[in-house]
Amino acid sequence: MAVNKDLRLSIRTTEYEKNRLIQAANAKGIPVSQFVIQSSLEAASEVLAEENQINLSPQEFDWLLSLTEKSSDVSALKNLVKQPTPWTK
């Protein structure tokens, strides 16, 4: 399936940065634009995965688990999870 790529993204770079990107793309055997897009998308995926991950200590996890075990009605917790996070408002 062919994808029509008609949008452009312009970036400013130093000569050193441009040359490094060219070297890396050549090492992979792909065009510079493809290298930049692939690398940028990989980095974006990592950043977004970190932003969407919730880290709990063992004590916090136990506390959260106890909340769900205490009551058969977890609708309040389900409603809380559906709310937008403060950092996405």
What's the pTM value of the predicted model, to 2 decimals? 0.59
pLDDT for the residue numbered 3: 80
- Is residue 22 pLDDT above 70, yes or no? yes
The answer to whether residue 48 sits within a structural domain is yes
The answer to whether residue 19 sits within a structural domain is yes
Give the span between the Cα atoms of 29 and 77, in whole angstroms. Answer: 50
The answer to whether residue 7 sits within a structural domain is no
pLDDT for the residue numbered 52: 79
State the CB neighbour count (10 A cutoff) for residue 35.
19
The answer to whether residue 42 sits within a structural domain is yes
The answer to whether residue 84 sits within a structural domain is no
Range of the domain at 67: 15-71
The answer to whether residue 3 sits within a structural domain is no
The answer to whether residue 76 sits within a structural domain is no
pLDDT for the residue numbered 16: 98
The answer to whether the CB of 58 falls within 8 A of the CB of 69 is: no
pLDDT tens per residue, range 27-68: 999 999 999 999 999 999 999 888 877 888 898 888 878 877
The answer to whether residue 78 sits within a structural domain is no
* Domains of the chain: total: 1
- Is residue 72 pLDDT above 90, yes or no? no
